[in-house]
């Protein structure tokens, strides 16, 4: 990877705004900013760490004058390459903007800066009996800015919706350094909903410097069950049965045998090693309602072939089940040197068929694929295990990933449930959108960022890319770096 130095005059200007601790450009410091939690990487020229909206605007002004490309970044836990910098560009880290500017308990909302960590927000408002619903499994480290940019989901988004349903407005800075408020604290303001355009735009339209988030009451009662199935097909069919009977659980997650084995070896949460799959089903609400719902869910799981249904008896039991689920990616990291996470979505009724197909794709490419995912949403997360030191392994992994996504789209599904398009899936956008639709997206991008310097070549394919096939979705500029 080649190094690009920041021009001295630009460096001096940035130092005036950020101070010496707010600008990183030593090679060893840049190294950790070259990638997110996915597989691609590139070296920036510098990392800027502003602490205020005004400083963000001034950094963007300096970048504009110097013609530099800018990549916003939160905690770098993204799984589609969204925070991978442009070679020689600036990383604009929002990680030091960590103030919760206001908590309005009566109206159940808060104004928070983008560097606030997801879990810390819920912990901060918990004494008021409130929580922020979107709970990505990375919630101990990912930021609200990253959640907004990716329109993130999480196990508890099945019934209550993903980030866009929990953010009333955003303060943004455009690439030319102008500050705007889109939406706001009140629901449904008049005018175009530009807030919605920014949420999920993966840092390509604007830098988010604050968000008005909606807070929900912590439910009175929660019941969590772990249902163990000897056959994966039965577990998959049970997902559809639960929802088909009119029950939308707060969470409905699935794990396969490989994942449970890895979690058990690491976290010792009591997962058995002789079942093909497990469902985590959580219902919450008022006490009487939850008692009835959890009994119905248990009955449906048993009818569907569950060998055992373990209902958490205490808050500690419940936390143990969730620890097993939320630490699954980390646990897999202990059994395989590398893994690549896909994020396709399918209609729930195709779960069993597509899970079988994923197994076949793995065999064909000589790759072990583990599954842990938001089953209720039909949001698959196949974890393709590999060792990137093995020649050709990454190419086989990406090819398998492409085949999985094609299978999802062919069944009426989509390319991403929550991890975004980033740079990884950019070439596959043509599977879902025709060229005029892509051009409409580019028009919006150019309206806000005419020179295409804000997180360029992410999320929206450049003209011709999808036609060329772009088989692995990598930006040639990054390949050269």
Cα–Cα distance for residue pair 21/316, rounded to 1 Å: 41
Strands 179-183 and 207-214: unpaired
- Adjacent-strand bridge partners of 373: 254
Helices (H), 154-286: 194-198, 232-244, 257-267
Where does this chain touch ligand FAD (CB under 6 A) — which range of 24-32, 40-48, 145-153, 317-325? Answer: 145-153
Note whether 73 binds ligand FAD by CB under 6 A.
yes
Note whether 120 binds ligand FAD by CB under 6 A.
no
- Taking CB under 6 A as the criterion, the residue among 256, 418, 424, 449 binding ligand FAD is 418
Note whether 255 binds ligand FAD by CB under 6 A.
no
- Taking CB under 6 A as the criterion, the residue among 22, 44, 50, 74 binding ligand FAD is 74
Contact pattern for ligand FAD over residues 286 through 305, marking x by CB under 6 A: --------------------
Cβ 114 vs Cβ 144: under 8 Å: yes
- Taking CB under 6 A as the criterion, the residue among 202, 234, 284, 377 binding ligand FAD is 202
- Taking CB under 6 A as the criterion, the residue among 136, 261, 304, 461 binding ligand FAD is 136
Please, what is the end-to-end C-alpha distance for the chain in angstroms? Answer: 5
Where does this chain touch ligand FAD (CB under 6 A) — which range of 139-147, 179-187, 274-282, 462-470? Answer: 139-147
Note whether 200 binds ligand FAD by CB under 6 A.
no
- Smallest gap from Cβ 345 to ligand FAD, in A, equals 12
Comparing CB distances to ligand FAD, the nearer of 150 and 282 is 150
- Taking CB under 6 A as the criterion, the residue among 22, 44, 87, 145 binding ligand FAD is 145
Contact pattern for ligand FAD over residues 27 through 56, marking x by CB under 6 A: ---------xx-------------------
Note whether 86 binds ligand FAD by CB under 6 A.
no
Measured from the Cβ of residue 2, the count of other Cβ atoms closer than 10 Å reads 9
Q: What is the DSSP string of 100-164?
A: EEEEETTTTEEEE-TTSBHHHHHHHHGGGTEE-----TTTTT-BHHHHHHHT---GGGTTT--GG
Measured from the Cβ of residue 440, the count of other Cβ atoms closer than 10 Å reads 12
Spatial CA neighbour of 413 closest among 339, 351, 471: 351
Element (H, E) at 316: helix 315-326
Helix axes 232-244, 351-364, angle to 10 degrees: 150
Note whether 207 binds ligand FAD by CB under 6 A.
yes
- 65 Cβ contact list (under 8 Å, min separation 6): none
Note whether 382 binds ligand FAD by CB under 6 A.
no
Comparing CB distances to ligand FAD, the nearer of 154 and 470 is 154
Where does this chain touch ligand FAD (CB under 6 A) — which range of 46-54, 201-209, 299-307, 431-439? Answer: 201-209
Question: Which residues of this protein are in contact with ligand FAD, per CB under 6 A?
Answer: 36-37, 71-79, 82-83, 94, 114, 136-138, 142-143, 145-147, 149-150, 152-154, 202-203, 207-208, 329, 418-419, 455
């Amino acid at each position: 990877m080649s190094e690009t130095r920041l021009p001295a005059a630009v460096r001096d200007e940035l130092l005036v705004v950020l101070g010496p601790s707010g600008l990183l450009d030593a090679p060893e410091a840049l190294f950790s900013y070259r990638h997110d939690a996915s597989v691609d990487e590139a070296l920036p020229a510098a990392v800027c760490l502003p602490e205020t909206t005004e400083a963000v605007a001034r950094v963007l002004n300096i970048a504009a004058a110097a013609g530099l490309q800018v990549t916003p970044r939160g905690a770098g836990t993204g799984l589609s390459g969204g925070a991978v910098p442009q070679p020689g560009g600036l990383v604009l880290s929002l990680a030091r903007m960590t103030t919760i500017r206001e908590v309005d308990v009566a109206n159940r909302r808060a104004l928070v800066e983008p560097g606030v960590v997801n879990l810390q927000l819920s912990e901060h408002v918990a004494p008021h009996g409130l929580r922020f619903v979107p709970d990505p499994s990375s919630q101990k480290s990912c930021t609200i800015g990253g959640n907004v940019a990716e329109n993130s989901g999480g196990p508890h988004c099945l019934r209550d919706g993903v980030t866009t349903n929990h953010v009333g407005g955003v303060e943004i800075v455009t690439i030319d350094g102008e500050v705007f408020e889109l939406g706001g604290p009140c629901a449904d303001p008049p005018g175009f909903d530009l807030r919605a355009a920014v949420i999920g735009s993966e840092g390509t339209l604007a830098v988010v410097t604050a968000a008005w988030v909606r807070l929900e009451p912590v439910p009175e009662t929660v019941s969590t069950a772990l249902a163990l199935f000897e056959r994966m097909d039965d577990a998959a069919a049970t997902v559809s049965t639960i929802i088909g009977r009119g029950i939308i659980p707060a969470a409905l997650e699935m794990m396969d045998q490989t994942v449970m084995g890895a979690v058990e070896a690491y976290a010792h949460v009591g997962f058995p090693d002789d079942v093909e799959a497990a469902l985590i089903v959580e219902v919450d609400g008022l006490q009487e309602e939850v008692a009835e719902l959890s009994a119905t869910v248990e009955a449906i799981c048993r009818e569907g072939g569950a060998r055992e249904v373990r209902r958490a008896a205490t808050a500690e039991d419940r936390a143990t089940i969730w620890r097993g689920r939320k630490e699954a990616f980390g646990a897999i990291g202990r059994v395989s040197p590398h893994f690549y996470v896909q994020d396709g979505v399918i209609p729930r009724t195709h779960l069993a068929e597509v899970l079988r197909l994923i197994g076949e794709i793995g065999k064909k490419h000589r790759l072990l694929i583990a599954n842990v995912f938001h089953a209720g949403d039909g949001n698959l997360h196949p974890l393709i295990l590999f060792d990137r030191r093995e020649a050709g392994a990454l190419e086989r992994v990406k090819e398998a990933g492409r085949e999985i996504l094609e299978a999802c789209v062919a069944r009426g599904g989509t390319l991403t449930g929550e991890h975004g398009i980033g740079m990884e899936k950019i070439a596959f956008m043509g599977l879902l959108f025709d060229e005029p639709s892509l051009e409409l997206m580019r028009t919006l991008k150019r309206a806000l960022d005419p020179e295409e310097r804000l997180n360029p070549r992410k999320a929206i394919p450049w003209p011709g890319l999808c036609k060329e096939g772009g088989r692995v979705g990598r930006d040639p500029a990054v390949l050269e770096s």
